[in-house]
């Protein structure tokens, strides 16, 4: 099934069920008012939501409305826990190679992960608001999963059953703020302003054979101002699968229902099908030519991120955002 959240007067939106074609939807207040509620009560809510989804597909729901992605918030507009991994070590290796730095052996056996801001995720068509182009605005195309309650110490095999929903995301990065932050050895903060989500999140069964329980084996397409930047396959060269990432995050503490775990920038070894962020494009240019030639994003730039099935149909709906300048306002 496919789930989304309509914007309303609350910070958590209203949970709706969306049809497979992403054209129609229906509200389900009697089952779950929000996606957070559904995830916290998944065993009881999921079968009822699935039944609504099947009826919606069959045209048996009376209270139906046209699904407009612009009206959708992030499927989970805010979360108690957002942990983003760096599962594609080939991407990290490339970045380090561009600055003549060695990749520690531990990077291949122990995942990198940071805890990001989850108090407000933004929708697929929300503008990316940034104060200055000098901060080095970049997109990062990723896959993410939503979990139910995960106990501390969960194993890789046990983690699989805790993946309830899948989506694609744009983990916006401000590249020119990153070096100073990381030099303090305390992680990202100012350099990670917004994370935007696809219009819908889907249950793994919607992905068919492309989902193996741990990885999503489909190309993730990133298009900047009408030019395709990359379409690497998310299931190829994923050093750490989502079960690895969940087990890593839950090593010393439990994860609450509604936890979102990101894959990190999707990348394939050698970037044969392009890249999922401009930083990787610039690293390839630096390795080849000694310096980068592709600029970071400017105000007015449009980034589109999408993933389609074998029939060419969008699975999650498209992320379609424009970079806009933010002007601080004070009372």
Render pLDDT for 129-187 as a digit per residue (tens, 0 to 9): 999 999 999 999 999 999 999 999 999 999 999 999 999 999 999 999 988 888 888 88
Closest among 195, 263, 199 to 233, alpha carbons compared: 263
State the Cα–Cα distance between residues 192 and 180, nearest whole angstrom. Answer: 13
Neighbours of 223 (CB within 10 A): 18
Instruction: Name the one residue in this structure whose structure tokens are 């993933």.
Output: 307
Q: Is 168 helix (H, G, I), strand (E, B) or coil?
A: strand
| Domains of the chain, start order | 2-71 (no CATH), 82-325 (3.90.850.10)
160 burial class (0-12, 13-18, 19+ CB within 10 angstroms)? middle
Among 150, 134, 176, residue whose Cα is nearest residue 298: 134
The pair of three-digit structure tokens given for residue 110, joined into one six-digit string? 């122990």
pLDDT digits (tens, 9 = 90+) for 75-96: 999 999 999 999 999 998 988 8
For the beta sheet containing 221-224, the strands, ordered from the edge strand earlier in sequence to the opposite edge, are 128-130, 319-325, 302-306, 221-224, 227-230
pLDDT of 238-295, one tens digit each?
Answer: 999 999 999 999 999 999 999 999 999 999 999 999 999 999 999 999 999 999 999 9
């Amino acid at each position: 099934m496919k789930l989304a959240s309509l914007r309303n007067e609350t910070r958590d939106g209203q949970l709706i069920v969306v049809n497979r074609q992403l054209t129609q939807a229906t509200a389900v207040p009697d089952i779950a008012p929000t996606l957070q509620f559904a995830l916290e009560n998944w065993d009881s809510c999921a079968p009822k939501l699935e039944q609504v989804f099947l009826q919606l597909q069959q045209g048996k729901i009376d209270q139906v409305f046209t699904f407009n992605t612009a009206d959708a918030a992030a499927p989970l507009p805010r979360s108690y826990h957002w942990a983003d991994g760096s599962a594609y070590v080939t991407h990290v290796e490339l970045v380090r190679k561009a600055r003549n730095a060695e990749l520690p052996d531990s990077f291949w056996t122990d995942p990198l992960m940071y805890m990001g801001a989850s108090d407000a995720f933004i929708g697929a068509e929300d503008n990316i608001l940034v104060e200055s182009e000098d901060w080095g605005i970049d997109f990062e195309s990723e896959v993410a999963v939503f979990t139910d309650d995960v106990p501390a110490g969960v194993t890789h095999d046990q983690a699989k059953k805790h993946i309830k929903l899948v989506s694609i995301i744009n983990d916006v990065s401000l590249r020119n703020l990153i070096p100073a932050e990381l030099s303090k050895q305390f992680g990202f903060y100012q350099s990670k302003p917004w994370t935007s989500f696809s219009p819908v999140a889907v249950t793994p069964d919607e992905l068919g054979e492309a989902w193996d329980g741990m990885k999503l084996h489909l190309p993730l397409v990133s298009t900047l101002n009408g030019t395709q930047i990359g379409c690497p396959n998310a299931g190829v060269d994923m050093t750490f699968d989502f079960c690895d990432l969940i087990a890593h995050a839950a090593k010393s503490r439990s994860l609450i229902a509604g936890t979102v775990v990101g894959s990190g920038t999707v990348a394939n070894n050698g970037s044969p099908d392009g890249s999922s962020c401009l930083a990787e494009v610039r690293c390839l240019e630096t390795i080849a030519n000694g310096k980068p030639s592709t600029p970071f994003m400017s105000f007015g730039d449009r980034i589109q991120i999408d993933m389609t099935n074998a029939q060419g149909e969008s699975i999650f709906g498209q992320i379609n955002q424009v970079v806009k300048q933010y002007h601080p306002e004070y009372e």
